[in-house]
Structure 1
Amino acid sequence: MSDTLQTLAGRSQYEQEIKKSRFLALAAPVATPEEALAFVQASSDPTATHNCWAYRIGQAYRFNDDGEVTGTGGRPILQAIEGQGIDQAVVLVTRWYGGTKLGVGGLVRAYGGTAAECLRQAERVPIIAMATLALRCDFADLALLKARLPELDVTVEQETFHADGADLQLRLPAARVDEARERIGDITRGRSVAQRTDESATLTASPPPASPP
């Protein structure tokens, strides 16, 4: 398992047949539990025997066996996600029963293995810890701040004007907070001081989450 959390760059799928049962895994990046559940609902096949799934988004996770023996469908899928150091992702494994029972161990291996192979083949991107800064600046400094801060991967999330200048809310990689504060102080000659407003760093990945099909 990698020390750096990753998520998926886009949707991925993998299909295999095990003792005449067909297993199809679909995986996608998601940002919220609501997105994960929407993906499951949109991607499940109502004509299939089972649609087992799991997601992990930070500390939030959930899994479902969809009628399989308890612990043989959703949990192995979740373990596949966690075992590969993946976050902000959902995996759905759909099974069409082929007439041969797999047993408890066989089901665990089938669902977990299909999910794991789907994730192994998927393109990944690193998840970056992000932070939020707030500052007030004079109109004289505003244009230069907005021109120079993108060099530090800073984006202006909110801009509110008042009589003497503007209030800015900035989002940037947490690792660059100290550098950004120093740059803001240099640009404004100490007139503006950036304060961190997030209680803890949030995580984000570079691509947007995939929409349900």
Structure 2
Amino acid sequence: MAFSLAQPAHSRVDIKKSIFIGFVTAVAGRPEALIEVARLRSEHPQATHVCWALLAGGHSGASDDGEPGGTAGLPMLNVLRHQDLEQVLAIVVRYYGGIRLGAGGLVRAYTDAVAQALLSAEKIELVVTTTLCAVVPYALEGPLRRLLQQSNAVLGEVTHDDVVSVCFSLPLAAAHGLQREANEICHGALQWRDQSIL
């Protein structure tokens, strides 16, 4: 089960005169994440580093932004993974305080900044949905619509031509079972469009 965040959250960690400002937020993917990183850079022009980590399906990634390799972005990414987060961006803005922290100290600082921000963040379960489209004779539109309503599917586009085309969305986990039920109540007269997962 994967989770995202209901709203952005922040933290501040002070270690040996360095300030680490943590920021976590939900994002759809890398383009949106990079806009957030640029926004924080512009809000903190005197910051020494603006490191980030992103978990958003195929758009995952991390940046140490000049910190020693593997001391910022990857530890932040590991915090997101450990908490089963998806579609989440973590950014830590660092103001260097003049005292070196060493590799271990940096890892702890960046990890703590993200973990502290996540402590105050409300997590929401991500439900993966899919859209299915089917074609049925007019006589079967009513039974199909009743099944969709009972299954809490969200009705989308419906067109009436020689036959009725119905598109709807529902949780991916429920799609296979609903398709099987729809095939049964329509006695083989239902045709699935290319979105079918059977």
Fold agreement, TM-score > 0.5 = yes
C-alpha distance in 2 between matches for 1:65 and 1:24: 15
For 2:30, the equivalent position in structure 1 comes to 33
**Structure 2 CA distance for aligned equivalents of residues 199 and 137 of structure 1:** 17
Q: How far did 1:178 drift?
A: 3.8
How many residue pairs are counted as aligned between the two chains? Answer: 196
Residue of structure 2 aligned with 1:169, choices 144, 167, 170: 167
Match of 1:5 among 2, 13, 17: 2
Q: Is the Cα–Cα contact under 8 Å of residues 55 and 80 in structure 2 kept in the other structure?
A: yes
Q: Which runs of 5+ in 1 are unaligned?
A: 201-213
Is 1:67 the equivalent of 2:79? no
**1:158 Cα deviation from its structure 2 partner:** 3.6
How far apart, CA to CA, are the structure 1 residues paired with 2:176 and 2:72? 45
Contact kept? 2:26, 2:87, Cα under 8 Å: yes
Length-normalised TM-score, structure 2: 0.84
Go from structure 1 to structure 2 and tell me whether the alpha carbon gap of 1:194 and 1:33 turns closer, same or farther (over 3 Å shift): same
Check if 1:90 corresponds to 2:89.
Answer: yes
Report the CA distance between 1:6 and its aligned residue.
Answer: 1.4
What SS does structure 2 have at the residue aligned with 1:109?
helix
User: How far off its partner does 1:156 sit?
Assistant: 3.0
Q: Is the 8 A contact 1:54 1:74 kept in 2?
A: yes
Work out whether residues 184 and 194 of structure 1, in 8 Å CA contact, stay in contact via their aligned partners in 2. no
Give per-residue Cα distances to partners, 1:130-170, cap 9 Å, x unaligned: 333220134454466446524323123444x3522332232
Give 2:195's match in structure 1, choosing from 172, 177, 197: 197
Alpha carbons 2:56, 2:86 under 8 Å: kept: yes
Query: RMSD value over aligned CA atoms?
Result: 2.6
Please tell me whether the aligned partners of residues 13 and 109 of structure 2 are also in contact (alpha carbons under 8 angstroms).
no
- 3-state SS of 1:82 partner: helix
Query: Aligned-pair distance for 1:50?
Result: 0.9
1:165-212 Cα offsets, whole Å, 9 max, x none, are 332232211222244225534665653244672669xxxxxxxxxxxx
The aligned residue for residue 110 of structure 2 is 111
- Do 2:37 and 2:91's aligned partners in 1 also have CA atoms closer than 8 Å? yes
Change (3 A) 1:120 1:199: farther
Residue 149 to residue 198, structure 1, CA distance change in 2 (3 Å): closer
Q: SS at the partner of 1:132? A: strand
Misfit runs of 4+, over 6 Å: none
1:86 deviation in Å? 1.0
Give the Cα separation in 2 of the matches to 1:143 and 1:39: 47
Q: CA deviation at 1:32?
A: 1.8
Tell me the alpha carbon deviations over residues 8-63 of structure 1, each in whole angstroms, 9 at most, x when there is no partner: 12211111211111111111111222122222222332221111001011243111
The normalised TM-score by structure 1 is 0.79
Deviation at 1:95, TM superposition (A): 0.9
Between structures 1 and 2, the one with greater helix share = 2
Q: Is the CA contact (8 Å cut-off) linking 1:73 and 1:111 kept in structure 2?
A: yes
The one-letter code matched in structure 2 to 1:191 is A
Unaligned runs of 5+ in 2: none
Q: Please state whether the residue corresponding to 2:84 is helix, strand or coil.
A: coil
Q: Report the counterpart of residue 18 of structure 1 in structure 2.
A: 15
